[in-house]
Structure 1
Amino acid sequence: MTELTTDASFMAFSGLNESGSHDTAVVRDASKLIAFYLPQFHRVAENSEWWGPGFTEWMNVARGRPNFVGHYQPHIPRELGFYDLSQTAVIAEQAELARLYGIHGFCFYHYWFSGRRILERPAENFLKSDININFCLCWANENWTRTWDGDTKSVLLEQKYAEDDAENFIESLIEYFQDSRYIKVNGKPLLVVYRAKQIPDPKKTFAKWRELAKQHGFSDLHIAVVDFYDISSPEECAADALVEFPPHKFNSRKSVPENPPKVVNPEFTGNLVDYHKMIAQSANRPTPPFTLYRGIIPSWDNTARRQNTPTIVVNANPDLYQEWLSFLRTYTRQESKGAENFIFINAWNEWGEGCHLEPDQKWGLSYLEATLRSSFYHPSNPATESLAAAREALFAKTEELILVQHGKQITDEAEARATGLALARYRPPNPIVQQFSAILIKWPFVHRIAKRVYSMISHIRG
């Protein structure tokens, strides 16, 4: 449902009427923003055993150091401080801030290993509270490892998929599903799965989950699987939808910045990804024949976890994020085809991966303000009602912001559009290559060789 507003204070804040037009009627977009939520910021016995007494993710965050000139590290929180998520009052404060800036709900990462739970306390405290925000769960079904990437080496906690896991898993979630705040699609609880293809027989498992949900009085489950490297459509595992999850599939060789920054860390062997190209790849993604919930990141930088080998998104800022999110809202209005109008944001509080809407010392509330501003638009503007027009406007505005960032001036709209042609021509990586890479990553040495050969061939082809 859309809402009209002519509120003068909002118009001044949003900048929607900067052209001087007297037509101040704007519409509020109905897309529901769901932000992934990391429950890592409190003490648990396992982390103290693996990483040292009292460890929380804040210890990673605080020790991040710059790898190149202009590199923003460490990320230090502002309004909410170095909080402790074992305190329910902290979650209440987060929820109030999120709702104020237009977040529909949190998607709590859920860590469940054949009945063993970890980092469950924030979600359990939330369930017992009256905190006013919607929520759902994402089963983060990866191994826990010392490298923070779910690989098969240096495993701290293994995901084993025992024979009776399907039943026990859903039974453990019923209390959450029954909560009035739990996000549902036509009465069906929304359950996100991070690595669907890691489940030995996902179709059989999901069928069992649906049967159990019906036994507890639900008409079904709405299962959405993350758009990981090894999957192309929800039909591959009998899910209902695919959840776009940048930076996954956005960090290929084609996405490196044209003018990379000067590296100052002699041990740096990480990857750089250009935010501009991520936006272009997102905008150029063809509309698939299945339900796709679009995804966005404010930025990404896991230097805090992997100082010398991180993946770092460069050139991100709140203005570009706002333009990207505005486009995704238009996409969702035009292409949802009766499906739920969810947009997933990665993430609310991934501080160790430089990926957070929560205010920090550099940007303050800017990303949250951009989130709110993106929700209002003029219905008479073609770029807010036509996907093709929205794509063209996004490329023009992105290139304009690029040039302003580099101290150049745009004299007219035509020039901005002309300089946006390079972004308009940008295409995402070949999905076959991505799936092949996902297979080879099980053998790191072979994967490194294949990656090097592919890079050489791509370079020769230009």
Structure 2
Amino acid sequence: MTSSNDPKLIAFYLTQFHPTQENDIWWGKGFTEWTNVTKAKPQFEGHWQPHLPSDFGFYDLRVRETRRDQIKTAKQYGIDGFCYHYYWFSGQRILNLPLDDMLSDPESDMPFCLSWANENWTRRWDAAEHEVLIAQKYLPDDDVNFIKSVIPFFQDKRYILVDGKPYLNVYRPQHLPDAKKTLNVWREYCRSIGVGEIHICAALTHGNEDYESYGFDSGVEFPPHNLKGSNINDKIAFNGDFVGNVFQYACVAGSYIERSYKGSRVFKTVFPSWDNTARTKERALVVLNGMPDNYEFWLSSTIDLAKKSTNGEQLVFINAWNEWAEGCHLEPDRWFGHGFLEATLNAKKGLRRFTTFSEVGLPHVSEGNHRTFFKDLREMLSYHGYLVFSDLKRSVRKYPWLYDVLYPFVRGVRFLRRFIQR
């Protein structure tokens, strides 16, 4: 049972899944996030790659029906809102078509808020200064022009409020040249046009765990940012020249459950799984055992922590609804189906089915993988067996000696089919 004091569950949402002029120039005609996702390859035995969608397929977010289906499913499994990543560069917006269409579509009836992704876009997908594709310039008029750009969202009745104030997240507060000045401009402008007070939250990313010194009202965790713990690379037999890091889910999640901060208003965040092999290949960060049961325990523990807070209205964030190239999604996939969604609803309902992380082993080929393999093999044999043996039947009737030649083979195929059907 949920109650009025339960925290709202807010899932971060990526709008990358549609072609854009910028991506056509940077990555090639027709590029979307799916381009990277489908190219991912396993880096070790038992590595769950690629992550491929099931229910929604390789969708295009310009299609309203897709977004409406996502909203229906998200609500069904306990998600209370989406936090859309917002890409604004000195007046230039990108990946904004799905967001703008959502705003104009009353049937997209999901509460939402924005997170300004205020970092450079680079060719390596990690915001490091290797090859900047589009930069955050922080021009003199950017403060007021940015806040003007988000006012139509603040004024929408679906916009998420915290303590009665529109909630705005900033992904890299430490990049703002003068954060306190920027926030003052935003607050004064919102007051001047009748929006009133706003709640501005700093994402705790790239080593920063402080929101107060920048003048923000709160902070929000953004795992796996500020990850703590030791990798288990020495326990993994990699396929090639892997130079990334593999961590245990229980170790990573446990460190966030136990973590405390200087500021008293920090919203907790969990992720269902994490594996950005699709983007960074051999440089990937892979969190092993990102499975529904482990995620359910982390989310349940985090909800319980949030309910104990006395610092105003609480949100719990989930990273993310659809970060497919980071192996980080609640949307149904071909590995676990609706497993992460069902775990979300279990946690929200307070079922508390687990008292610890249940999956802590090293990579192995799971029973589920065997089942998938055998299913595919069975279908292949049935199809090709039909094609081959339908022709052979006629020949065997005409030439009895063929029976003696083919019998051992036919018997072997029958045995194999019986075996995989067990």
| d(CA) in 2 for partners of 1:280, 1:304 | 25
Return the match for 2:334 from 361, 384, 391.
361
Partner of 1:314: 288
Confirm or deny that 1:50 pairs with 2:9: no
Amino acid of the residue matched to residue 22 of structure 2? E
Amino acid of the residue matched to residue 318 of structure 2? I
Return the match for 1:397 from 356, 366, 370.
356
Shift of 1:260: 2.9
Once the two structures are superposed, residues 277-320 of structure 1 have per-residue CA deviations (whole angstroms, 9 ceiling, x without a partner) of 01221222136542010000111111111111111111221001
SS of 1:182's equivalent in the other structure is coil
Structure 1 residues 404 and 312: alpha-carbon distance in aligned structure 2, compared to 1, 3 A threshold: closer
Equivalent residue runs for 1:129-148 within 5 Å: 129-130=105-106, 131-148=108-125
Confirm or deny that 1:275 pairs with 2:249: yes
Once the two structures are superposed, residues 137-171 of structure 1 have per-residue CA deviations (whole angstroms, 9 ceiling, x without a partner) of 00001101100111222000011000000000011
Kept in 2, the 8 Å contact 1:29–1:376? The answer is: no
Structure 1 residues 29 and 404: alpha-carbon distance in aligned structure 2, compared to 1, 3 A threshold: farther
| d(CA) in 1 for partners of 2:97, 2:266 | 31
Return the match for 2:6 from 18, 23, 30.
30
Equivalent residue runs for 1:310-459 within 5 Å: 310-335=284-309, 337-377=310-350, 397-398=356-357, 400-402=358-360
Once the two structures are superposed, residues 58-107 of structure 1 have per-residue CA deviations (whole angstroms, 9 ceiling, x without a partner) of 01000000001100111110000000011121111111111110101111
Partner of 2:178: 201
| d(CA) in 2 for partners of 1:140, 1:226 | 10
Partner of 1:154: 131
SS of 1:286's equivalent in the other structure is coil
What count of residue pairs does the alignment treat as equivalent? 364
Partner of 2:230: 255
Q: Gaps (5+ residues) in structure 1?
A: 4-26, 379-383, 385-392, 408-462
Shift of 1:403: 7.0
Structure 1 residues 100 and 259: alpha-carbon distance in aligned structure 2, compared to 1, 3 A threshold: farther
| d(CA) in 1 for partners of 2:230, 2:192 | 47
Partner of 2:68: 92
Kept in 1, the 8 Å contact 2:271–2:328? The answer is: yes
RMSD after superposition: 2.1
Return the match for 1:292 from 260, 266, 269.
266
Partner of 1:79: 55
SS of 1:255's equivalent in the other structure is coil
| d(CA) in 2 for partners of 1:260, 1:299 | 20
Structure 1 residues 273 and 29: alpha-carbon distance in aligned structure 2, compared to 1, 3 A threshold: farther
SS of 1:343's equivalent in the other structure is strand
Kept in 1, the 8 Å contact 2:115–2:170? The answer is: yes
| d(CA) in 2 for partners of 1:165, 1:287 | 31
Partner of 1:108: 84
Shift of 1:404: 12
SS of 1:272's equivalent in the other structure is strand
Return the match for 1:227 from 204, 208, 224.
204
Kept in 1, the 8 Å contact 2:209–2:261? The answer is: no
Bigger shift: 183-192 or 228-237? 228-237
Kept in 2, the 8 Å contact 1:29–1:375? The answer is: no
Amino acid of the residue matched to residue 157 of structure 1? I
Shift of 1:255: 3.0
| d(CA) in 2 for partners of 1:28, 1:321 | 24
| d(CA) in 2 for partners of 1:135, 1:111 | 16
Kept in 1, the 8 Å contact 2:55–2:332? The answer is: yes
Kept in 2, the 8 Å contact 1:29–1:329? The answer is: no
Q: Gaps (5+ residues) in structure 2?
A: 366-422
Shift of 1:216: 1.9
Shift of 1:257: 2.9
Shift of 1:29: 7.1
TM-score by length of 1: 0.75
Kept in 1, the 8 Å contact 2:44–2:238? The answer is: yes
Partner of 2:39: 63
Shift of 1:259: 6.6
Kept in 2, the 8 Å contact 1:29–1:377? The answer is: no
Once the two structures are superposed, residues 307-336 of structure 1 have per-residue CA deviations (whole angstroms, 9 ceiling, x without a partner) of 11111111221001001100001100002x
Amino acid of the residue matched to residue 318 of structure 1? P
TM-score by length of 2: 0.82
| d(CA) in 2 for partners of 1:185, 1:286 | 21
Kept in 1, the 8 Å contact 2:322–2:331? The answer is: yes
Alignment identity in percent?
A: 43
Once the two structures are superposed, residues 89-128 of structure 1 have per-residue CA deviations (whole angstroms, 9 ceiling, x without a partner) of 1111111111110101111110000000100001100000
Shift of 1:338: 3.5
Shift of 1:233: 2.1
Kept in 1, the 8 Å contact 2:223–2:270? The answer is: yes
Kept in 2, the 8 Å contact 1:187–1:219? The answer is: no
Shift of 1:263: 0.6
